[in-house]
Amino acid sequence: MKVSDLLEKKEFKCLNPQIGVEGVIESGYVGDLLSWVMANAGSGCAWVTIQTHVNIIAVASLLEMTCVIIPEGAEVEESALERAIIEDIPVIITNLNAYEVCKILGNAGI
């Protein structure tokens, strides 16, 4: 599944679509403790987290994640978005909760 396929669903919105959304989501990871994510998340994943500060982009970029998904309508910090544009990481927001996001990813075969 590509990021663009996920964005076709009305529940998801990309905050920085100008960077391109053709990346392929190969797996998923959920977590808010950065050291756990750092140690365990795979490259090419969609990372679901309620953290919204600039460090999530550092983590996503170092691990070569495909995108970051922020659930439950949490507001993403401006500095994080600026960094996400530089680092080429799509930041996607949704009002769904993390479980509902995973269900959609799972149903899409991820």
Partner 1 sequence: MRYKLILDVKRGDFDAAGEASRKIKDILQQLGVSSKVIRKVSIAGYEGEMNLAIHSLGGKIILEVGEEELSLTIKDIGPGIDNLDLAMTAGWSTADDKVRQMGFGAGMGLFNMNKHADNFLITSKIGAGTKIVMKFSLE
**Among residue numbers 21 through 40, which ones bind partner 1 (CB under 8 A)?**
32-39
Q: Are 56 and 79 in contact (CB under 8 A)?
A: no
Q: Where are the alpha helices (DSSP H) in the chain?
A: 3-7, 34-40, 55-62, 78-87, 98-107
Min. distance of Cβ 38 from ligand ATP in angstroms? 8
The least distance separating partner 1 from the CB of residue 54, rounded to whole angstroms, comes to 6
Q: Give CA torsion, residues 61, 6, 69, 83, to 10 deg.
A: 40
Binding of ligand ATP at residue 37 (CB under 6 A)?
A: no
Q: Does the protein bind ligand ATP through residue 35 (CB under 6 A)?
A: yes
CB atoms within 10 A of CB 20: 11
Which is closer to partner 1, CB of 43 or CB of 95?
43
Does 107 bind ligand ATP (CB under 6 A)? Our answer is no
**Beta strand pairing status for 91-94 and 67-70?**
parallel
Instruction: Tell me whether strands 45-48 and 67-70 are parallel, antiparallel or unpaired.
Output: parallel
Q: Looking at residues 57 to 96 of the shown chain, list those that interact with partner 1 (rule: CB under 8 A).
A: 57-59, 61-64, 79, 87
**Under the rule (CB under 8 A), what is the footprint of partner 1?**
32-39, 43, 49, 51, 53-59, 61-64, 79, 87
- Interface with ligand ATP by CB under 6 A: which residues? 34-35
